[in-house]
Amino acid sequence: MLIIHQLLVDIIVCRARTDHPMETCGVAAGPAGSGVPTRLIVMDNAAKSENYFQFDPHQQLKVWREMEFNGEEPIVIYHSHTNSSAHISQTDIQYAFEPNVHYLIVSTDHQHRLGPRSFRICNDRSVEEKVKVVSAYRDDAFNRLIDTGISAAVASV
């Protein structure tokens, strides 16, 4: 199950709406080993596509190095679907490169709900998991980290 803060979800949905009709994408990082997403990192969709996303390789390398330097790891990789529901696609499965993350998808198609859906992808298979959106994490240390990560994410929206 993915437990994610409401503020992170709100920013992901806002960014997806802003980027529509192009797919949006990014990462929610958190302290290594915690499984708790605390910092949103908006990424450029190098594909500039309505049907596909691809991280810019230079930006991705920079972000992954920054996470490592900060003692973080990717907890969530997110993107939007612009012409369909928030389902996992064969392309999503084919290009999944982090076996331990939650793959979060939101839809900006007006015929489908915007609620996030999350999937685990490993060995070319996907399994949907429950998403629990919370207004606060149980551990206040994570809530303090959320507050420090939001301003940077909002600035890039």
pLDDT over threshold 90, residue 143: no
**pLDDT given for residue 31 in this prediction:** 97
Where in the sequence is the domain holding 72, given as residue range(s)?
A: 2-156
What is the pLDDT at residue 95?
80
Number of independent structural domains in the chain: 1
**Residue 110: pLDDT over 80:** no
Give me the pLDDT at residue 85, please: 62
* 54-108 pLDDT, tens digit each: 999 999 999 999 999 999 999 999 999 876 667 677 787 778 778 899 999 998 8
pLDDT of residue 112: 65
Contacts 24+ apart (CB under 8 A), 123-132: 124/93, 124/94, 125/93, 126/88, 126/92, 126/93, 126/96, 128/88, 129/1, 129/2, 129/102, 130/1, 130/2, 131/1, 131/2, 131/4, 131/104, 132/1, 132/2, 132/3, 132/4
The answer on pLDDT for 22 being more than 80 is yes
CATH number at residue 131: 3.40.140.10
pTM score of the predicted model = 0.90
Mean predicted lDDT score pLDDT of the chain = 88
Q: Residue 80: which of 111, 109, 55 has the closest Cα?
A: 109
